[in-house]
Amino acid sequence: MIEFPHKAPKGYSYEFEEYNTRLTAVWLRHHNTYSYTTKSIRSIWGFYSPKKKQYFAPIHSSKCGDQVNVSETTPYTAMPLKQTPLEKAFV
């Protein structure tokens, strides 16, 4: 079981699915209902390597990107925010 560092935002939950033999895909599931589909909506949060205990940003839902520092991720995505030094100073 993954000890995930974030708490799901209100109206969302996390779902963990084996991506391949070395990675687990972490999905963010949205529980609202939508008029265009009856299926549950989800988006890729990122990827996790249980063996190395490392997180990776997604390029898209079926391609793993670069390793990220989990402290630089948000509950919505593992993709690091692009901020200027001035923006970082006010966070």
Residue ranges per domain, the chain? 12-89
Rounded average pLDDT over 31-42: 82
Of the candidates 61, 57, 20, 69, which has an alpha carbon nearest to the alpha carbon of residue 41?
61
Other C-beta atoms within 10 Å of 48: how many?
21
- What pLDDT score does 91 carry? 64
Burial level of 28, CB count in 10 A (0-12/13-18/19+)? buried
Work out the percent of the chain whose per-residue pLDDT is above 70.
Answer: 98
